[in-house]
Amino acid sequence: MTVNALVLTGFGINCDNETQRALARAGAETVRIHLNDLLAQLDQLDRAHILAIPGGFSFGDHIASGKVLANRLRHKLGAPLERFVSDGKLVIGICNGFQVMVKMGLLPYCDGALKQEATLTWNDTSRFENRWVHLQAPAGNRCVWLKDIEQIALPIRHGEGKFIPGDDAILQRLRENGQVALRYVRDDGAPANGVFPFNPNGAVDDIAGICDPSGRIFGLMPHPEGYQERTNHPAWTRASLPAEGAGLRVFHNAVEFARNEL
């Protein structure tokens, strides 16, 4: 079957082209669509199997990163998005997209309702961080986007990437449900334990990404679309790397899941 993917754009989103390319290279028929056009053509969402909310600086990060776009999506697209998710389809939010999903309540989505249970706020360094990080997918995590991925290196580019759950009970629920999808680790795979630069923002429990209880809704601060070629990696001139960047595996997994399950 043909897997159809939509990549949201407009109002300061600026990683839409790379995200579209990653999904297309993974085998999806992929369309970039402006938020206003999506609101006017909701049938496009109904026909899609995958929705991506890319990185960037939506609405100039006014109020807080992702907050304005989160409010707009929640109040203007909330019901269609909930229907999209209840139909078993897939959503990914990358960097600013992750901030949007958390602040509109689409993640962690523990009870299947749009309510904010966590946030992403200023890095502990109080500055924008642009670097590569090492990540580990915890054993038992439910994220279908991370099938057969145990460790991966990806770039991060953010000023507000510190993940904070609403309280200890929510954090424990994320752990027990397998919703902690990615953690920052040291270069050798040892826990970061909050130590900079291995954990680049001070995120609680070193959390770099989470998913919903189904594993189909996935948000992460690092940029998998930023590692599509071996030459994207900072060590490409001195390390033995496959031609295809490891970030594409995330998108291959999603397209394969959609093709087989939807």
**Displacement of CA 63 from its chain's centroid (Å):** 21
Within 8 A by CB and 6+ apart from 237, the residues are: none
Beta partners for 184?
135
Within 8 A by CB and 6+ apart from 71, the residues are: 103, 104
Active-site pick, 158, 225, 233, 252: 225
Beta partners for 7?
32, 52
Query: Is 176 one of the annotated active-site residues of the chain?
Result: no
E strand intervals along 108-216: 118-121, 129-136, 151-158, 162-165, 180-185, 207-211
* Residues 41/3, Cβ–Cβ less than 8 Å: no
129-136 vs 180-185, strand pairing mode: antiparallel
Query: Is 117 one of the annotated active-site residues of the chain?
Result: no
Active-site pick, 15, 95, 143, 211: 95
Q: CA 243 to CA 231: how far, in whole Å? A: 8
The amino acid occupying position 34 is H
The amino acid occupying position 112 is G
Within 10 angstroms of residue 183's Cβ, the number of other Cβ atoms is 20
- By C-alpha distance, which of 134, 205, 125 is closest to 163? 205
C-alpha distance across the termini of the chain, in Å: 9
Beta partners for 155?
132
DSSP-derived secondary structure letter, 209: E
Active-site pick, 134, 223, 233, 252: 223
Enumerate the active-site residues. 95, 223, 225
